[in-house]
Structure 1
């Protein structure tokens, strides 16, 4: 945050009606702009009207329009250097750095040189010419708090977060509380992974914002209160509330508190979508991608076309394309934006994305590339392990902290490579090879939750290692036992099956009672919310019995699990249910099994209920990049249930 000053310049009281001044004082800038536009039509060279109009556009963060009107003013009043300063500042805010520098070079008033030097430093900073920016900052007075702040910004850009933090805290001690300066300090703590310290600064910014500006409606949208947009006013900018809530969301997201992260975004002062800043748009897209996938991709694609855009946008868009297996789109984006690759992708991330895209056409080459990446990471992890041990022996707390932080950062990069490598064999259903890959990484990953969960899955899928799978699933479930619905339903289901297959039926029943109790409590608190945990557990257990040939017991359990139908029918639950019915029908058609008429009647009645309640329930998830080729009329539970019922009736008539 480079320090710059801005305000209304050279407007005399009484030149315009009190109405316009009242609008500006009350920050009703859009209304003021409408009135001023009408005045400009009849008085195109009115200095006062143009100055107010430029100021209002700047206040609403329409910097390009503001720059246009200040440019006009510099032509009307070529001797007024302050207009040139404002013109340069508007150009700088619009990221038109070359034009902004050109305008600053035309300002020769000695009394404005301090302000111009700061502005030129900010422009150089925006251009990422850090050496040029530092040279200008060093020429500023050492006792000016802005100099300390700007040096902190340069240190932050260089990745020297501790040194930057020291500069910001020193400046805070001199000038007192400042929202943007407090945000800078919070950001440094965030980069240092000192989340508690960052959250203290954020809480202070939010508390001050709520206390001083209740009109900004903080938190009302989350509470379900309909409020109008507060707009992009100078007051909103001065409070740093938008920045604070975005950082709060980022911290919660890193801590995997996804609901809290989404809530932080809805807590910020309400604005219409066209008024949102780039960082908020990016965070909304990222944190709601699972529920609003299409919208999320649209926002990230839109941001990529803006200048500037949040640096994380490019990498996140590519990673999300790969996550949803749109590898061709990821390859296209990489090819079309080659100029962004070196600026926004680290060598590791580029190689990782390249391998992910490559596995679609050449799994063997992709595996080798992942293996090469994994080898580099394991070598680094071993070196860092040694550094941690040496730091602990020397009892140097700072060195230990740094070594551990470096180790965790490398591990965060290693685990995705390992999972992508293992997935190649997982897709081939070669689970033994997947297990071998995981065993090679136990040295580094034995405390990593993602690693433990995937080891559990691969042991479970081998159908002969349920006891070992239980040993990995249990700690994950027990960690969240007080809030068991926070655990993925499939993890709970697999643990129950593992218990049953190892004759631990009492443990399975106890776990299911716990799930049922929490679901009942949730249904009491929020009757309209759909919860599928116990349903999916029962479906998986039912599927297990069907796989063992006990269709009557297995399907009866599946039928009971989907009651009441209006709450339990969904994409996932129907997938498990129909799979068992298709297996039953196949074995009946091949005359491998014989079913009682009463059992078949029970199946028909169940399918009729699914037909009645499943008219609007889709059988496949929405496709984010849908090309329109899917016939959604045939992709409903009602359609498929009717088809299954017809097949059973046909078999009965043979």
Structure 2
């Protein structure tokens, strides 16, 4: 290896740096420093390269050595303090700022100290330092905007960022901050407008960052965490876009936003991206999601919502013991990252596992407080409408909607306590008490429909709630849950409205045929599940011959209709049939028995790649050969043959 002072070798390093290949430059420089430990040029270039690949800890070490070797150079001290700040080593960074010469670097020192206090979340101290800056300083509005944002003064913060943009010109980070303010104000169209500009500029100015190529299925190498990537604000913009789409319940668009961002390897991902990947892919990759969130909780810093989201997801997947353990092990995080509402809700959910009556009482107290707040907000909406104050009305409606988002989970948690006990009359009473504030809420109406349906003597009333949900999406009926469609069909049949049930099923069939025409390989299960539920109903009423016939026909053709969910409904009917046959409570004609065995043989043939059950993400894995429809179909066939043998 040639000496660092060699002209040809130095030119190579500078070319690598110019081409953005800082990692390669780091490799060469590190080797050189093993020979020339005190080389100022090598240390300076190495610190510069480390800073550009966002390795701030190593950058700080380089600049610390340079500051010690050349105390007369003020820039090295400043770079050392900046690198420590970027590495989140705030106490060390503060100490390093005291080494700066007040006369030469006073303004830079104050700005850096303010940034450090901001990073430490000591916003009052940061404000005091920012106030020391002259108001005509180009960064004053930028810094004030950040402080106002943290104080939840989003509109004022937005004004400051806009003023800063007018002084500094277009800057991706400023544009992102403006988008963030609009996001916090729930003004998603305006936020998306600024995000789109960041992305468009990033694509046109930096094609080397490979935006969108991963989504298109093109394999590209990681672009790394370079300073260029950081300055484009592309990662932040895509994460914010994903958050907006997620809030709007556009899950596919949210996932696409995450894959559109410049590609990086998993170990290079920032905490926000890692959190969003975990959250937005939880339905398809829950095991990975839990691992990522648990990992983030051990990092400093981590996105503030990580703690609450991990606890809520543990509760959603019924890992209540894990949620309790995380709460107990991180008591210091409880007051910092959980709102009083969220803490009370989680406490009630965990209490429900050991003392459901006590949990119901806690939820009832929360319900009462939230109901009172909803009444006050409803009055504010009405007053603003009467006063014809559009701005006040808009804000009151937003506040009411946010409060409703808190109220519904509490109400549903209360209802679930009695739902789990099959006490549907009590669930209906709970919903009836909430009719004053919830009668227009879709989740409330859907759950009222379910509880009426489950009582088996209120099908007519259930229709009254199911029908508006279905009619709302009648032109795109497959957007409605298959269970809702199935329950409505059953309700029609049970109230002698067979024509309405048949019409609804024809509508579903027509849409499924269109999908099969557009995408022949796509599996669609709506009509299949409707028929399965109808078949289950007849089996439950003792008419197994007709019921099993419905079940068997519903899964044809097997290559398109056999799935984990459809198999779940089908095998329940078979198990019920086998139980009654074993007890000699029913007898089947030979033709029906043969039809059942043939059906199971078809499932055995087509079910090799179909999971029999969806495994819980954190449970021990079932043997891969046993968690298939093929395996379970063979078991059912063997049981069938055994039961037939007993009956003979």
Change beyond 3 A, Cα 1:510–1:226: farther
The reply to whether residue 431 of structure 1 matches residue 436 of structure 2 is no
Task: State the partner residue of 1:292.
Answer: 285
Counterpart among 324, 344, 362 of residue 337 in structure 2: 344
Q: Could you give the per-residue CA deviations for residues 221-254 of structure 1, whole angstroms, max 9, x where no partner exists?
A: 1111212111111221111111111111111111
Residue in structure 2 matched with residue 240 of structure 1 by the alignment: 233
Structure 1 pair 555/171, CA: closer, same or farther in 2 (3 Å)? same
Q: Is 2:193 the partner of 1:193?
A: no
Question: Partner residue of 1:7?
Answer: none
- Pick which of 127-136 and 52-61 moved more: 52-61
CA distance, structure 2, for counterparts of residue 523 and residue 12 of structure 1: 69
Tell me the SS of whatever aligns to 1:145.
coil
5 Å matches for 1:129-144? 129-144=122-137
Equivalent residues in 2 for 1:65-144, closer than 5 Å: 65-144=58-137
Aligned mates of 2:21, 2:546 — CA distance in 1:
69
Pairwise CA distance, 1:13: 12
SS in 1 for 2:139: helix
1:23 to 4, 12, 16: 16
User: Is the contact made by 2:102 and 2:109 (CA closer than 8 Å) also made in structure 1?
Assistant: no
Provide the residue aligned with 1:594 in structure 2. Answer: 587
Query: 1:641 corresponds to which residue?
Result: 633
Aligned to 1:495: 488
After superposition, give the CA deviation of every residue in 1:438-480 in whole Å (9 maximum; x if it has no partner): 1111111122221111111111111112222222222222333
Q: CA deviation at 1:593?
A: 2.0
Q: Residue 149 of structure 1 corresponds to which residue in structure 2?
A: 142
Name which of structure 1's ranges 56-65 and 115-124 shifts more when overlaid on structure 2. Answer: 56-65
TM-score (norm 2): 0.96
Instruction: List aligned pairs for 1:203-242, cutoff 5 A.
Output: 203-242=196-235
Pairing partner for 1:275 from 268, 285, 295: 268
The answer to whether 1:399 aligns with 2:406 is no
TM-superposed deviation, 1:522:
2.8
Q: Please tell me whether residue 320 in structure 1 is matched to residue 313 in structure 2.
A: yes
The question of whether the paired residues in 2 share the 8 Å contact of 1:377 and 1:414 is answered with yes
Q: Which moved more, 1:508-517 or 1:139-148?
A: 508-517
Residue 297 of structure 2 corresponds to: 304
Tell me, in whole angstroms, the C-alpha distance in 1 between the residues paired with 2:525 and 2:603: 16
Displacement of 1:505 after TM fit? 2.5
Q: Equivalent residue for 2:522?
A: 529
> Does the residue aligned with 2:422 lie in a helix, a strand or coil?
coil
Match of 1:544 in 2: 537
In 2, the alpha carbon distance for the partners of 1:90 and 1:470 equals 64
Match of 2:34 among 41, 49, 58: 41
SS in 1 for 2:263: coil
**Which residue number corresponds to residue 469 of structure 1?**
462
2:176 aligned residue (175, 183, 194): 183
Question: Equivalent residue of 1:622, what SS?
Answer: coil
Query: Does the CA contact (< 8 Å) of 2:53 and 2:226 recur in 1?
Result: yes
Size of the alignment, in residue pairs? 643
> Hey, what's the Cα distance between the residues in 1 that align with 2:156 and 2:6?
47
Counterpart in 1 of 2:573? 580
Q: Distance in 2 between matches of 1:606 and 1:397?
A: 63
Distance in 2 (CA, whole Å) between partners of 1:66 and 1:484 is: 58
Q: Partner residue of 2:414?
A: 421
* 1:253-290 superposed Cα distances (whole Å, 9 cap, x missing partner): 11111111111111111111111110000000000001
- Call closer, same or farther: CA 1:373–1:542 in 2, change over 3 Å: same
CA distance in 1, matches of 2:498, 2:11: 80
Report the alpha carbon displacement of residue 159 of structure 1 after superposing the two structures with TM.
0.8
TM-score, normalised on structure 1? 0.95
Task: Tell whether the 8 Å contact from 1:189 to 1:198 is kept in structure 2 after alignment.
Answer: yes
Q: Which residues of structure 2 form unaligned runs of 5+?
A: none
Matches of 2:273 and 2:230, distance apart in 1? 14
Answer yes or no: is the 8 Å Cα contact 2:415–2:430 preserved in 1: yes
Distance 1:21 1:320 in 2: 49
Residues 84 and 621 (structure 1 numbering): CA distance in 2 closer, same or farther, change over 3 Å? Answer: same
Higher relative contact order (CA 8 A, sep 6+): 1
CA distance in 2, matches of 1:57, 1:503: 75
Q: CA deviation at 1:632?
A: 5.0
Deviations 1:566-600 (A, max 9, x none): 33222211111011111111222222222110110
Tell me whether 1:333 sits opposite 2:326 in the alignment.
yes
Q: Are the equivalent residues in 2 in contact too, given 1:15–1:48 (CA < 8 A)?
A: no
What whole-Å deviation, never above 9, does each CA across 1:386-413 have from its counterpart, x for those lacking one? 2222222222222222222221111111
User: What's 1:620 paired with?
Assistant: 613
Q: How much has 1:109 moved relative to structure 2?
A: 4.8
- State the partner residue of 1:651: 643
Shift of 1:481: 2.8
- Kept in 2, the 8 Å contact 1:210–1:216? The answer is yes
Offset of residue 643 of structure 1: 2.0
Give the root-mean-square deviation of aligned CA atoms.
Answer: 1.8
**Aligned residue number for residue 8 of structure 1:** none
Give distance in 2, aligned partners of 1:452 and 1:509: 24
